Amino acid sequence: MQYPRHIWFIPDGNRTRSTKNDVAEIVWYLQWMQRWIDIARYVITKTPIQAITWWLLSTENVSHRSAESLAGIFDMVKKTCNSLDELLESHRVNFRRIGSETWLPSDFVDFLQKKEADFAFGTDRSVCFAVNYGWQDEIVRAIHRASQAWEDMSAINSQTLHWYTDIGSLPPLDMVIRTKSEVAQRTSGFASWAIGYAELYFSDVLCPDFGIEEFEKSLAWFDSIAKDRNFGK
């Protein structure tokens, strides 16, 4: 079976599920967090997939959602990260954070930075959390980083600039999974710099219902088309 090297998840449907069932949104986020932990464990222990990234909050989410909603999500992220500690440690899987620190609470930034430092094993496998991430913001920050490192900006090419993006040091992106496909067949500004040859998988289920069984369906789909991926050749 052929597996993607790097998968990016765009979980969508928590608020839809909350509205349909008249249950607090945080309840569905907590359910999805457990699904995410299960998927991370499956990937690490049963597949050769090198990196999985979960897009938790976009730059638009952070600027438009209420402080109460964001506080609940930040707390939930901390609990999820802590739940992964033993798994990452035992399998020497790196923890990576992706996105801008701007507008995030300082204690939350400190938490993510410490996790990244504590779980930096130098291996080729990573679990990544994208918080306050947007591709336009990513490119602007990449240019700023490059300008600080290079005196002659005219010497920078596309490969060089890619290295300064948030995902520049991660394995090539091969697959994007998005839930709630009946109303969300789009990438919502995700990693437009790196998405060129990624396969897009849109699942009909809502985010809280996307578990191991649905994930295995997505991997089977990727395997079925992998032989036809020619990267423009």
pLDDT per residue of the chain (233 residues) written in tens, 0 to 9: 999 999 999 886 445 444 455 556 666 567 778 888 999 999 999 999 999 999 888 888 888 888 888 888 898 889 989 999 999 999 999 999 999 998 899 999 999 999 999 999 999 999 999 999 988 888 889 888 998 888 888 888 888 888 899 988 999 899 999 886 555 555 555 556 666 678 899 888 877 788 999 999 999 999 999 887 766 56
Tell me, yes or no, whether 142 lies in a domain. Answer: no
Domains identified in the chain, total number = 1
* Terminal C-alpha separation, the chain: 23
233 contact partners, CB below 8 Å, separation of at least 6: none
In this predicted structure, what is the pLDDT of residue 44?
98
In a domain, 156, yes or no: no
Q: Does 99 fall in a domain?
A: yes
Domain annotation covers residue 68 = yes
Domain encompassing residue 28: 6-133+173-226
pTM listed for this prediction: 0.85
Cα torsion through 68, 70, 72, 74, rounded to 10: -150
Task: Give the pLDDT score at 47.
Answer: 98
pLDDT of res. 28: 58
Residue 168 lies in a domain: no
Which residue do the tokens 């222990």 mark?
A: 45
Tell me whether residue 116 is in a domain.
yes
CATH number at residue 79: 3.40.1180.10
Residue 103 forms part of a structural domain: yes
- The answer to whether position 210 is within a domain reads yes
